Structure 1
Amino acid sequence: MDELQFRCPVCLDVYTDPVSTPCGHNFCKACLKKHWDTSEVCRCPLCKEMFYDSPELRVNISFREVVDHYKNTSSVTGYESCQAKPGEVVCDVCTGTKMKATKSCLVCMASYCEIHLEPHKTAAALSRHKLIEPVKNLEDRICQKHEKILDLYCKKEEKFICQVCAETDHSRHQVVMAEVASQQKMIQIKRREREVELMIQDRRKRIEGINCSRKETKENAQKQMKASVQVFTAVIEAIKKTHEDLMEGIEERHDAEQRRFERLIVELMQEIDELEKKSTELKQLSQIEDHITLLQTFNQAYAIPPAQNWAKIPVYENDFLGFIRTSLRNAQQFIDLEVRKQEAIDDITIDPNSAGSWLTVSEDQKEVRRCPKKYKLLPITLRSGESTFAAATQGLTTGRHYWEVGVKEKSNWALGVASSTFIKGEPAAPCPKNGMWGVSHQDGEQYSALTEDPFPLMLSSHPQRVGVFVDYEEGQVSFFNTEAKTCICTFTKCNFPDKVYPVFDPCLTTEKKEVAPLKLMIVEITK
C-alpha cells in the first residue's frame, strides 16, 4: 500500500484525527481547521473546490483505525525516502520539510512532489499542462526573448527555440519538435553506445590476448630456464671434460718428451764413451816414435766413430699452447651446438625403400643393419642393389636440424646428409662434390671426413653416440661425439643443390660381415 495515502497533504505527516471534505479529500482535523481559519472562504487545499457553507468536521473513525493500524505496522523509512536529498529536485510547494519532486510543470514553472502533483492529475484545467521529469532551473526551459516554452529544436544552430523563434529568426531553418530531436539523438546515442560496446569488446579481447601471451611468455620463460639449466650443465661438463682431456694430453706429451730426452741422453753418453776411447787411442798414437808403426796404425786410429748430427735434432722445450687452442676450439663448437640445437631436434625415421638389398630396416624405422643374405629389391626402391646406404624419410630444405645415432659395437659405418641426386643416382664416391657430406669409421681404427681424398680424423676416444647438426641456411654440417662432448668434424659453406636427406651406412661395403645396427637415438632435452 502506498505510504502517501496515509499522509496529510498539508503537514505531510501521517494523519492525526483524519476528516474528509465533501469533495472526498482527507486532511488532519487540525490542519484543515487552521487552513480554513486563515482563509476568507472555505476551499479544499488540494482541488480548490469552494464550499459556501463551512462543513462540519467529523473524524472519520474507520479511516482513523486504518491509519492507526498503518502506524503500528509500518516504519518511518518510507517517509524518509520521500524527503529530498542533497542534489535532488525539491517540491516547490512543500513548506518545512522539502519532499522530493516527481514531476516538473513547464506551464506552472514549478516542481511537485507526489502529493502536490495530485491536482494536475484530477483537475481538468491542470491536466493539460506539460509535465516532464523533475529538473532544476526551469527558467532555462523558457525562451528569454519571448517567454515561451522551448519546445522546438533548430538543427542548423543545434539549439532549443520557442514557437515564436521558429516563425521569425529560424523561419528558414530546419526545425523539429524537441521530442523528435531527442528521439533522433537517442538513435545516435544507441549507435554510439553500440560502437563503444564493440570497442570495449575489442579491448577485452585484446586483454585476453595479452593475458594469454603473458601466460605463454611465463610458461616459455620457465621452460627456457629449465632448458638453460640443462644447457649450462652440459656446457660445464663439456668444459670439465675438455680440461681433463687437455690435462691428459699435455701429460702424455710431457711423458713422451721426457722419454725422448732420456733416449737422447743415453745416445749422447754412448757417443761420449766412444769418443773418449778414440781420444785415448789418439794420445797413444801420438807417442809412437817408430814411423813405420805410426803409419800402419794411423788410418784405424784416426777415423772418428759414427755419430748423429745433433744440430738437426730438436731438444727445445715443447710449447703446449696449440693443445689449449684446440681444446678451447672444440669446447666452443660444442657449446655453440648446445645452444643452437634447442629448437633443432628432429624425429628422424629411416625410409625402407631407400635401403639396398643387403640392408634391412626395423619396423619402427629407427635402425638399419646389414642382413646376412641379399634381398630382392622392390620396383619402388630408390637405390641400386649393391648400395649400403639408407636415407631418412624426411628431407631437409630449410632451418636447423639435429639428431643422434648410436654406433656402439660397430667397427664400420658412415653418417651424414646427401642430396637426392646422390641417393637416387648411380653409386658414386661419398664426398661433397658428389652431393654427400659425412664422416666414416673403418675397421675399428680409422676415422675420416668423407672428402674426395678422405681426410683422416684424430679422435681422443671412440664415439659411442654421434650427434649430427645441419644448418641449411648457413650451409653447415657438424658431427659431435656426444659423450666426450667434442666436435668430430665440421663441413662449412656446403652448397646444398636441393633437398638433402640424413643418410646411414651400417657396413661401408657388402664384404663387411658385422650385423650391429646403426640406431637413431632419443635426444633428451628440456623443451
Structure 2
Amino acid sequence: MLCIETYWKDAQVCRCPVCNHAFERRPDLKVNTFISELASNVLSLKAKDFDTWSAHSLQASPGAGVLCGICTDTPQEAIKSCVECQTSYCDVHLAPHHLAPGLKKHTLIEPVASLEGRICEEHNKLLMWFCRDDSALLCDVCSSSRHKEHSVVPVERAYDEKKNLLEHTEGKVQRMIQERLQNVVKVKESVKLSKTETEKVTASGQKTVEQEAGGVISESLKNSVSQLRTTLNKMNTDIQKLCDRSDVSNKATLRYMQQYEVNVLLDPDTAHPLLMISDDLKQVRYSMRSGWLANQISNPSMFTEHLAVLGNRSFSSRKFYFEVYVGQKTEWCLGMAAASVQRRGSLSRDSRSGLWAMWFLENKFETFNSPDELVHFGKVERIGVFVDYDRGQISFWDTEAATLIYSFTECFFTEELYPYFNPLLRIFSFCATLHADSSISP
C-alpha cells in the first residue's frame, strides 16, 4: 500500500498499475483483512513444522519388514540389529554374537531399517534422545556430556509432544477454515444479490443511454461488475488452496496410522449362529441356517442376539490399526468391543454397552451408543480403524478419500479390546478385510 501511495504522490493522474484504469480523484486504499489474516495464519503454521528430524522414521514399528543383511539366498526376517556392526541379523546369523567373546559386548536392539542413519557419527551409538534447546538428536554420550545442562527427553516423548502440537495447530486451522467458509458463503450471497441488482441497473441504464445518447454504456457500472467478479474468483482460489492443504495433512496422518497395521482374524467361537465365517477367517456373512442355531447356543463365548463376531486377538496397550472392506453393503456396524461386552441377550445402545463402534445405514453414519445422531454422511468402501489405547482414542477413516469419519476421544479403557464386526440383517454379504492384502466384494 505504501508503494502505490508513493507512486501516486508524484503522478499527475492516479492510474491503477494492474488494469491501467485512471481515476478522476485519488481513491482511498484499504487492507483486505480477510486475505491478510489468512496469509498470516498459514505462515505461522508453516513455521511450526518439523524441521530437524523425521518423526515417522523414528517411530516405525520395530522389525516391520526388516530383513537379515547377511543372508545370500532368500533373506530371512531379522530378529535383532547390532549398533556396532550397523547390520540386522536373522536368528541363524545372530548366533556369533552370543558365542564370540568380542561380539558379546555389542549392543543389540530390536530390528530397525536404515540403522546407519540412527547412529551418532561422533560416538557410534544409537540416537535415543532429543535436545529441546538445540533441536538435535543425541546418543547417551552426547546427552551426558555437552548437553547435560539442557532439556533432554527420549525421542518417543519428543515425537508425541510435537505430534500433539501439530494436531492442536491443525485443529485451529480447521476451525479457521470453517469460519472463513461461512463468511465466504455470506459474501457469495451478497455478491450474487449485488450482481443481480447491478445487472438490472445496467440493463435499465443501457436502455436509457441508448435512447438518449446513441447507445453509450456506463463505464462505472461495467467496472463495478468486473471488480465484483475478480474479488469472487480470488476468494474461490484462496479457499481451494486451503482445502488442498487440508487434504495433504489428512493423507500424511493416515499414512502414519497405517504404520501400526496388525493382522487380525475372526474368532468363530464368538460368532452368532446365523453368521458364516470363511475358511481363511477373514470374511463373515449372514446365512439363514436356523436349524444350526439350537446346536450352537450353548457356547458361552458367542453372541446370541446381535449378529456379531469378534477378532481373535485382544489389545490392551499402545497403538494398532486394521482395515475393513465393506464394498457396496448398505448396512453394517464395526469398531472395538470390551472383553466384557454382553454376549447373551440384547445389547443396549448407550454408554454402558462396552462398544465403541460406527453404525452405517443408507449413507448415514451414527455411533452405536448414540442412535439417530448423525456424525457423517456418504458412501465408503474401505474403513480404516486406528486405536491409541493409552490415549483413549478410536478413529474411523475413509481410506479411499483419506477422510476422517469420526473419533472417540478421551475414552477410559480398563480392559482388553477386541475388533467387533456386525453385518446386520441384510442379505448382502459383509466381508472383513483385516490386513491390506485382502480383497472383498459384497
Shorter-chain TM-score bucket reads: 0.3 to 0.5
Which of the pair has more CA radius of gyration? 1
- TM-score norm. by structure 2 comes to 0.46
More helix by share: 1
